A and B are shown apart, each in its own frame.
Chain A
Amino acid sequence: MSATEAPARRPNVFAAAEVCAAVFACLVVFLFLCLPVFAIFERAAETDFFDTISSSTVTEALRLSLLTTTISLTLVVIFGTPVAYILARVPFPGRDIADTLVDLPIVLPPAVGGLGLLMAFGRRGIFGEWLDDAGIEIAFTTTAVVMAQTFVASPFFIRAAKAGFEAVPQNLEDVARTLGSSRSSAFFRVAIPVAAPSLMAGAVMAWARALGEFGATIMFAGSFPGRTQTVPLAIYRQLETGVEAPLALSAVLVVISFVVLLTFRLLMRRAAFTL
Chain B
Amino acid sequence: MLEVSIRKSLGEFTLDATLDSPGGTLVVIGPSGAGKSMLLRAITGVLRPDAGRITLNGRNLFAGDRRLDLPANERRIGYVPQDFALFPHLTVAGNIGFGLRLLSRSDRAARVAEMLALTGLESQRNLRPAQLSGGQKQRVALARALAVRPELLLLDEPFSAVDAPTRQTLIEDVHRLLATTGTPAVLVTHDRNEAMRLADRLAVLISGRIRQIGDPSEVFSAPVDEEVAQFVGVEIIVPGVVRALEQGVALTEVAGHTIEGGSNVAPGDRVLVCLRPEDIVITPATGGAAPTSARNHIAATVARITPWGPFRRVELHAGFPLVALITRHAEEDLNLAPGTPVTATFKATAVHLVPR
Contact = CB atoms under 8 A, between A and B. Distances in A.
Interface of A: 169, 171-172, 174-183, 185, 189-190, 193-194, 196, 273-275
Contact of A178 (B77, B87, B89, B102): B77
Interface stretch (B40-48, B187-195, B275-283, B339-347): B40-48
Interface string B106-135: 000000000000000000000010100000
Interface string B59-73: 000000000000111
25 contacts: A171-B81, A171-B83, A174-B44, A174-B79, A175-B85, A177-B44, A177-B46, A177-B71, A178-B45, A178-B72, A178-B73, A178-B75, A178-B77, A178-B78, A179-B73, A179-B144, A180-B73, A180-B148, A182-B71, A183-B71, A189-B98, A194-B87, A194-B89, A273-B88, A273-B130
B329 interface: no
The list of the 3 closest CB pairs from A to B, nearest first, reads A179-B99, A177-B72, A171-B85
B89 A193 contact: yes
A196 B148 contact: no
B107 to A, nearest CB: 15
A218 to B, nearest CB: 42
B94 to A, nearest CB: 10
A176 B85 CA distance: 9
A174 B41 contact: yes
A181 B73 contact: yes
B322 to A, nearest CB: 43
A152 to B, nearest CB: 31
Nearest to B153: A178
B101 interface: yes
Given A174-B72, A174-B81, A196-B89, A179 B148 contact: yes
B93 to A, nearest CB: 15
A273 B87 CA distance: 11
Interface string B142-177: 001100101000000000000000000000000000
Secondary structure call for the A interface: helix
Interface centre among A179, A183, A185, A193 (most CB of B within 10 A): A179
Contacts of A182: 71, 73
Determine chain B's interface SS by DSSP, over half rule: loop
Contact of A179 (B88, B98, B130): B98
A138 B73 CA distance: 46
Contact of A194 (B44, B73, B88, B98): B88
Nearest to A192: B89
B37 to A, nearest CB: 10
A194 B98 CA distance: 14
B128 A178 contact: no
Contacts of A196: 89
B155 to A, nearest CB: 12
A179 B147 CA distance: 9
Contact of A174 (B46, B87, B130): B46
Contacts of B85: 169, 171-172, 174-175
Contacts of B83: 169, 171
Contacts of B87: 172, 176, 190, 194
Contact of A176 (B77, B88, B98): B98
Interface string B248-264: 00000000000000000
Contacts of A185: 73
A185 B74 CA distance: 13
Most chain A CB within a 10 A radius of its CB, from B71, B78, B89: B89
Contact of A273 (B46, B71, B128, B150): B128
A273 B89 contact: yes
Nearest to B156: A171
Contacts of A183: 71
